[in-house]
Amino acid sequence: MPLSCYTDVVPVAIERERLVQTAAIRADWLRCRGLGREPSVELDEPETQIVVTLAGTFVYHVGRKRRLVDANRVAFVRAGESSRDSAAGEGDVDCLVLTPAAGLVDGARLPQTTLASARLQLSAARFVATLRRTRTRDRLVAEEAALGLVHEALVAERAGPTPAPSAARRLAERAKRLLSCDGPPLPLPAIAQRLSVSPAYLTDAFRRAEGLPLVRYQQRLRLVRALAELPRRDDLTALALDLGFSSHSHFSTAFRATMGVTPSEYRRQARGAIQRS
């Protein structure tokens, strides 16, 4: 899936911005359009990359393995590995591509994808929003922030759930294709009915495969969408309703419980400059 690699091969990415480039790490913001339903050409990525999806969904192919990657998952592109991409739905795919120096990830046993922690989602969104908005180019501060994201991704990988049976993983993949970041959340019984399984079975399989209950997973997708929207939105009530929350209060409570800050606090941080943590 080296999205940042094959943008020069096929007309997929229409926007790409280098946020950080030092001897230790590169960080690129990437917006992709034009992914087809059929897998892209297979390419080898010469460097290990960590892809944090900020918006959108795509399918990451490595050999016969396929994983749906949305804003709740981190994808690891291993150096020398052949991979492909295909579309999983309509719309753009926004992501942060981190390329650490080889010495930083040598020997790490990286999975194809893993569950993103809320801390990584918050930090990645803030990193992109602040760097793209302010054009901050303090090398040391930006490098430190990017390396911190690599650390968070590796911590998330180590804390991931125990590998689930293939049947549970396949069912979870099918369920995730039904989830949306917009409008009212899809009730669990409705998802189970569309997948021809019982709600109890779906709940158990999804938790085993993803490490989160389906309801919380769906809510996290909406909160990550909020991370992208907050820097440019002033009306928090309108944003809450757009994302399917019942009220501003419901949205703020869920956001703070998951991200550790209120929507207003995050918006203020994202509109400012990167701060040393």
Domains with residue ranges and CATH for the chain: 3-158 (2.60.120.10), 166-270 (1.10.10.60)
Geometric angle at alpha carbon 199, from 198 and 204, rounded to 5°? 100
Of 42-46, 129-133, 163-167, give the lowest mean pLDDT range.
42-46
Distance CA 201, CA 175 (A): 12
Tokens of 272: 């400012």
Q: Which of 216, 218, 191 is nearest to 202 (CA)?
A: 191
Q: What is the pLDDT of residues 230-272, one digit of tens each?
A: 988 999 999 999 999 999 999 999 999 999 999 999 998 887 7
Q: Mean pLDDT across the chain, nearest whole number?
A: 84
Q: What is the pTM of this model?
A: 0.85
- Which residues are CB-neighbours of 55 under 8 A, at least 6 positions away? 71, 91, 92, 93, 94, 181, 224, 225, 228
pLDDT on residue 156? 74
Residue range 53-100, pLDDT digits in tens: 998 888 888 877 888 899 999 999 888 888 887 877 677 889 999 999
Does position 140 have pLDDT exceeding 90, yes or no?
no
With H, G, I as helix, E, B as strand and everything else as coil, classify residue 43: strand
Per-residue pLDDT tens digits for 95-133? 999 999 988 877 677 888 899 999 999 999 989 988 876
Q: What is the pLDDT of residue 66?
A: 82
Spell out the residues 6+ positions from residue 153 whose beta carbon is closer than 8 angstroms to its own. Answer: 50, 52, 74, 76, 98, 116, 120
Which residue has better confidence, 183 or 4?
183
